[in-house]
Amino acid sequence: MGKTDLTQTDATLQQAAQTDIYQLFRSRAAGMPNAIALIERGKQLSYTQLLQRVDQLAGHFVRLGLNAGDRIAILSRNRQEYIEVELAAAATGLITACLNWRLLPAELHHCITLVSPRLIVSEPDLCPLLEQVPDIPQLCFGTPYEDALAQAPDFTAKPQDPEGGLVILYTSGTTGLPKGAVISHRAMIARSAVFASELGLAPDDGFVAWAPMFHMASTDHALSTLLRGGAVVMIDGYDAELICHAIETQRIGWMVLIPGMIEPLTAHIKERGITPKGIHICGAMADLVPPHQIGEITKLLDAPYLNSFGSTETGLPPATRSLIPIGVTPESLSKQTSAFCALRLVDEEGNDVPTGTPGELAMRGPTLFSGYWNAEAANAEAFRGGWFHMGDVFRRNADGTFDFADRAKYLIKTGGENVYPAEIERVLMADPHVTDAAVVRVSDDRWGEVPVAFVSRDDDAVTEDSLLAACGAALARYKQPRDIHIIAFEDFPRSTSGKIQRHVLEAGLRAEKS
> What pLDDT sits at residue 462?
93
DSSP character at residue 177: S
Tens digits of residue pLDDT in 359-398: 999 999 999 999 999 999 999 999 999 999 998 889 999 9
Tell me how far apart the alpha carbons of residues 478 and 360 are, in angstroms, rounded to a whole number. Answer: 23
Task: Tell me if 289 sits within 8 A of 247, measured CB to CB.
Answer: no
Helices 47-63 and 80-92: crossing angle, nearest 10°?
Answer: 60
> What pLDDT sits at residue 2?
47
Tell me how far apart the alpha carbons of residues 468 and 503 are, in angstroms, rounded to a whole number. Answer: 23
> What pLDDT sits at residue 6?
54
* DSSP alpha helix (H) spans, 397-496: 421-429, 464-474
Task: Tell me if 508 sits within 8 A of 483, measured CB to CB.
Answer: no
> What pLDDT sits at residue 513?
75
Task: Tell me if 421 sits within 8 A of 454, measured CB to CB.
Answer: no
Same fold, 18-237 and 342-407: no
Homologous superfamily, domain 18-237: ANL, N-terminal domain (3.40.50.12780)
DSSP character at residue 32: S
Write down the domain spans for the chain: 18-237, 342-407, 411-513
72 Cβ partners below 8 Å, 6+ apart? 61, 66, 85, 89, 94, 95, 96, 97, 117, 118, 119, 120, 121
Domain 342-407 has CATH 2.30.38.10: yes
Residues of the chain falling short of pLDDT 50: 1-2, 173-175
pTM reported for the whole predicted model: 0.85
Homologous superfamily, domain 411-513: ANL, C-terminal domain (3.30.300.30)
> What pLDDT sits at residue 201?
96
> What pLDDT sits at residue 174?
44
Show the beta-strand stretches assigned E in 22-157.
Answer: 36-40, 43-46, 71-75, 95-98, 119-122, 138-140
Tens digits of residue pLDDT in 272-287: 999 999 999 999 989 8
Q: What angle do CA 232, 88, 245 make, to 5 degrees?
A: 15
> What pLDDT sits at residue 366?
97
